[in-house]
């Protein structure tokens, strides 16, 4: 095997799929990139056994033997590529020993490759369904939901992923950790056959990152069955195993009658939360919202360190006067993920969840519907 490729192009595309690798992995072969040459294309594959990502890179193929595959140690290769200038590099691999030589200018670097025959194959996907989603829409859907997933994968595996519901009227992304919930819905993406499954957070977040770095709003082709979901876009392909299990009935958690409604500027609220929460107890990050008809007082206190803060900001509230406590981190994540100038917060009482809904103007995407739910906390001061 012998080929020439630009160092920075190779480094950038390898880095984009390397997030699936784990430093704690005890299986040496999946700490490697799998290189496969097809004519003037280098197809690079990486996997953690549950997820496989590939990228295709155009090369100058100087192959002069029958060797088309090699497994390359990922950490060492990434480090050497990052240290090189933007120059062509030559890769050569010995078909007998799997030794790899990388040449760049006056430098020559040797590393031990592995037998590619032991590298895991890409799972087959029989009986798939397929939809297309614009990259910008998929990035928005993931960005606005993924922060609400649970970090407790061992005890709440279903909640550690994003629920995707595909129907003939809309497509819905849902995430919750039991304390906060986000429902992101698109009325312009539908399918004839309904489907419902849970996508794992880690690979979905990596795919979002790759799409975000692409300046073109390409379509993402998504194929899925009962076990796996696959994404095709540009020079990338990704497939991951779905999370097994039943997702909670999230619709039952969303209150249907919230009589008290507050309208507030999102950026003002977000910046106030950031400042005031600095003075909150760092274990609870609790903030108190004291709401009246035209003003809201946002306050926090850390009794142990004698820290306290409060700010008054304008709002419009039709529920008289009310005090309610929330986790400032949750509110900040929600405000930060939204794009609208204003948000509406629907409330019922200090012990019932609050709903956050972005207020759209006529220039915003009317096919996008977002609802966020956040549980209140007991006020401790």
Structure tokens at 286: 């609790």
Q: 260: which strand partners? A: 347
| 195 within domain boundaries | yes
| 276 shares a domain with 245 | no
User: Does a structural domain hold residue 340?
Assistant: yes
Helix (H) or strand (E) holding 228: strand 228-233
pLDDT of the chain along its 381 residues, tens only? 899 999 999 999 999 999 999 877 778 899 999 999 998 999 999 999 999 999 999 999 876 556 799 999 999 999 999 999 999 999 999 999 999 999 998 899 999 999 999 999 999 999 999 999 999 999 999 999 999 999 987 778 999 999 999 999 999 999 999 999 999 999 999 999 999 999 999 999 999 999 999 878 899 999 999 999 999 999 999 999 999 999 999 999 999 989 999 999 999 999 999 999 999 999 999 999 999 999 999 999 999 999 999 999 999 999 999 999 999 999 999 999 999 999 999 999 999 999 999 998 877 788 999 999 999 999 866
pLDDT of res. 25: 72
Tell me: do 311 and 342 sit in the same domain.
yes
**Are the beta carbons of 76 and 97 closer than 8 angstroms?**
no
Instruction: State the pLDDT at residue 49.
Output: 93
Last residue of a domain, which of 57, 91, 118?
A: 118
226 plus 328 within the same structural domain? no
Q: What is the CATH number of the domain that holds 28?
A: 3.10.150.10
- The phi and psi torsions of 96 (rounded to 5 degrees) equal -90, -45
Query: Is residue 135 domain-shared with residue 42, that is, in the same domain?
Result: no
Strand arrangement of the beta sheet that strand 195-200 belongs to: 195-200, 161-166, 171-176, 180-186, 368-374, 354-359, 342-347, 260-265, 316-317
Considering the domain architecture, whether residues 73 and 147 belong to the same structural domain is answered as: no
Residue 225: name the closest of 120, 160, 122, 130 by CA: 130
Residues 143 and 184 in one domain: yes
What pLDDT score was predicted for residue 109? 96
- Are residues 306 and 345 both part of a single domain? yes
Query: Which tokens is 334 given?
Result: 């929600």
The answer to whether residues 13 and 57 touch, using CB atoms and an 8 Å cutoff, is yes
Residue 73: the pLDDT is 95
The verdict on residue 123 lying in a domain is no
How much of the chain is helix, strand and coil, in % rounded to 5?
Answer: 25, 40, 35
The reply to whether 321 and 217 lie within a common domain is no
Q: Are residues 246 and 258 in the same domain?
A: no
What single DSSP character describes residue 114? B
User: Is residue 97 included in any domain, yes or no?
Assistant: yes
| Alpha carbons 41 and 60: distance in angstroms, whole number | 8
Residues 242 and 259 in one domain: no
The domain in which residue 235 lies consists of 129-252
For position 63, what pLDDT does the model report? Answer: 63
Q: Which two tokens stand for residue 272?
A: 């106030």
Give the predicted TM-score (pTM) of the model: 0.94
Check if the beta carbon of residue 72 is closer than 8 Å to that of residue 100.
Answer: yes
Given this model, what pLDDT does residue 204 score?
97
Asked if the structure places residue 294 within a domain, the reply is yes
Are residues 349 and 314 in contact, defined by beta-carbon separation less than 8 angstroms?
Answer: no
**pLDDT at residue 363 in the model:** 75
Which residue from 5, 88, 18 is spatially nearest to 238, judged by alpha carbons?
Answer: 18
Q: Does 150 fall in a domain?
A: yes
Give the end of a domain, one of 51, 83, 118: 118
**108 bridge partner residues:** 103
End-to-end distance of the chain based on CA atoms, in angstroms? 69
Q: Provide the number of structural domains found in the chain.
A: 3
- As a whole number of angstroms, the distance between CA 291 and CA 298 comes to 9
Tokens of 130: 């397929």
Q: Which of 252, 279, 299 is the last residue of a domain?
A: 252
């Amino acid at each position: 095997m012998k080929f020439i490729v630009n160092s920075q192009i190779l480094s950038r595309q390898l880095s984009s799929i390397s997030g699936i690798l784990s430093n704690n992995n005890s299986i040496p072969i999946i700490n490697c990139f799998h290189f496969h040459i097809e004519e003037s294309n280098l197809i690079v594959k990486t996997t953690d056994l549950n997820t496989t990502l590939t990228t295709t890179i155009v090369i100058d193929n100087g192959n002069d033997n029958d060797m088309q595959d090699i497994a390359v140690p990922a950490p060492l290769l990434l480090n050497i590529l990052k240290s090189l200038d933007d120059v062509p590099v030559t890769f050569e691999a010995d078909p007998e020993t799997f030794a790899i030589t990388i040449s760049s200018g006056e430098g020559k670097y040797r590393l031990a490759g592995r037998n590619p025959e032991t590298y895991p194959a890409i799972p087959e996907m029989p009986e798939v369904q397929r939809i297309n989603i614009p990259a910008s829409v998929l990035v928005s859907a993931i960005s606005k939901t993924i922060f609400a997933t649970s970090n407790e994968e061992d005890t709440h595996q279903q909640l550690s992923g994003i629920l995707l519901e595909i129907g003939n009227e809309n497509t819905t992304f849902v995430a919750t950790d039991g304390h906060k919930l986000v429902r992101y819905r698109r009325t312009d993406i539908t399918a004839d056959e309904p489907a419902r499954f849970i996508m794992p957070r880690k690979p979905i977040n990596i795919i979002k990152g790759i799409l975000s770095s692409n300046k073109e709003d390409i379509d993402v082709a998504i194929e899925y069955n009962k076990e796996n979901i696959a994404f095709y876009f540009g020079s990338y392909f990704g497939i991951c195993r779905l999370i097994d299990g039943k997702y909670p009935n999230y619709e039952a958690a969303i209150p249907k009658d919230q009589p008290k409604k507050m309208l507030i500027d999102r950026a003002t609220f977000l910046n106030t939360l950031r400042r005031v929460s600095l003075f909150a107890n760092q274990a609870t990050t609790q903030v108190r919202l004291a709401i009246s008809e035209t003003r809201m007082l946002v306050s926090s206190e850390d009794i142990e360190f004698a820290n306290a803060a409060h700010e008054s900001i304008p709002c419009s509230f039709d529920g008289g006067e009310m005090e309610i406590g929330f986790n400032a981190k949750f509110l900040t994540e929600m405000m930060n993920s939204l794009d609208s100038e204003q948000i509406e917060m629907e409330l019922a009482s200090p012990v019932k969840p609050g709903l956050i809904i972005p207020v759209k103007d006529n220039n915003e995407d009317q096919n996008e519907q977002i609802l966020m739910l956040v549980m209140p906390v007991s006020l401790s001061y």
